Chain A
């Protein structure tokens, strides 16, 4: 197998995500959240990031609490099964650990902002957000003539966790895709982490399932379990108990810092992180449901 774009998460973050980058993550909403990548951003002490995403589950909350973030451009930041994001609250309400600029979106408008960039358009018009105060708290949304013009949003880098990819950076992802395609197409570059690194023959047997043009992809990181505690269809259930534990411990700044030390700073990589979990077997999906193959026959 050619090594191509294959590297470790440490190398990918060090090479392609400098301080001050705009970074799209959590693009599939609840599934396939690239938590391993987010934790490496924290370990490498990235600062002044602009996080872009619809609903990041607790990932954006963790990065905000770790002091990596200057701006959030998102529809929702919290903990999907538990509610509030306590670090998001502390940053927005009292500037802890640093002040945070918030550019509000809805899920639809952030998708449109990314599609505009993906299509090389300055903006896309829509009727969503008419009558909403979101128009007041995001300068990229301009209302007039009964429409909202959603300004293009071009991430410097989009990070996606997928089920499988090859060394050339071709990803197969399945299940609901959220805004993953437009975030990848809009981005300057794409980092993939994957449950399985596979031969290109596997990927090219079904080119319809390839998520984004390989020309956008700069790094492929084999990272089994890289989405935990988010679910990965066919591989991992969502770890609700872990999400609850995070919500409880992050209620106070001190509690969050202890959590961060335990699960991120004192944990060198994702393999070590998975080793710290009590029982990963309870989270593995065992009952597989394979789709029927499709026929690309040509003569």
Chain B
């Protein structure tokens, strides 16, 4: 097996490390499905996964999943139910961690997956929230995964599908009545950005091997501040790569775009 890895494989490994053992994880689509499988097979053997269409699992499905509703994800489930039951657990604050993707994220962690430009006359219509807004508002903490490009990491998103820390002011989420804790990190193809405790603006926390702080700042649409002591993101371990390639043998999700 090659130790060379794609940016997406590093993102999966980094996302997997956000999962603590025993977490109830609200798993989204694409890379987070793999991240859960890696975490469960390595450092988090007691984690459990909720899938919004109505599933609870412990062991990840052995077969490749194109969607969370593929038959191998249902066979062997701990619970197969309706969406509102799973969302109800989320609304009670019982999901420790959620994952989100998006077309655009801003310095305060707000995500746009709906409209580029004015929503009444959009330049680009994106697919929409799905369960994304629910995870952002209701989960205890969440992590965003996206490709690091200047047009995607913007100063302010044009439409807030899934709120992070709003306008970035202290206590914004509490004042708006959002029950969940908000975004913890943004994992990109170049770096990991983190938010300070209590929320606010994302800072550069680590740069992926082979990339520089200057490159990351140049590809970010705001004046990205660097956390003192920011270092290099650990490369995926051999064990993590083995697990990623077991669950995505053809590289459907992890080959470079």
Contact = CB atoms under 8 A, between A and B. Distances in A.
Given A85-B127, A176-B53, A177-B82, A106 B134 contact: yes
19 contacts: A30-B70, A76-B128, A80-B66, A83-B127, A93-B122, A93-B125, A106-B133, A107-B83, A130-B163, A132-B129, A132-B136, A133-B119, A133-B159, A136-B119, A179-B84, A231-B69, A231-B70, A233-B74, A238-B67
B130 A176 contact: no
Interface stretch (B170-178, B183-191, B234-242): B170-178
B218 interface: no
B71 A133 contact: no
Contacts of B131: 75, 106-108
A289 interface: yes
B55 interface: yes
A134 B137 contact: no
**Those 4 A-B pairs whose CB atoms lie nearest each other, nearest first:** A30-B69, A176-B54, A78-B127, A92-B125
A28 interface: yes
Interface stretch (A121-129, A199-207, A264-272): A121-129
A181 B125 CA distance: 30
A46 B75 CA distance: 37
Contacts of A83: 127
Interface in A67-88: 74-78, 80-81, 83-85, 88
Interface of B: 29, 51-55, 66-71, 74-75, 80-84, 87, 90-91, 114-115, 119, 122-134, 136-138, 159-163, 166, 172-173, 176-179, 252
B161 A146 contact: no
A131 interface: yes
B125 A182 contact: no
Contact of A30 (B68, B80, B124, B136): B68
A198 to B, nearest CB: 21
A181 B82 CA distance: 8
Given A30-B70, A80-B29, A179-B83, 14 more contacts: A76-B129, A77-B128, A78-B128, A107-B130, A111-B87, A132-B129, A132-B161, A134-B114, A174-B80, A176-B74, A177-B82, A231-B70, A233-B71, A240-B252
A178 B54 contact: yes
Interface residues of A, number: 64
A81 B131 CA distance: 16
Contact of A175 (B74, B84, B134, B166): B74
B132 A106 contact: yes
A89 B130 contact: no
A55 interface: yes
Contacts of A134: 114, 129, 133, 161
Nearest to A29: B53
Contacts of A88: 125, 127
Contact of A104 (B71, B81, B128, B166): B128
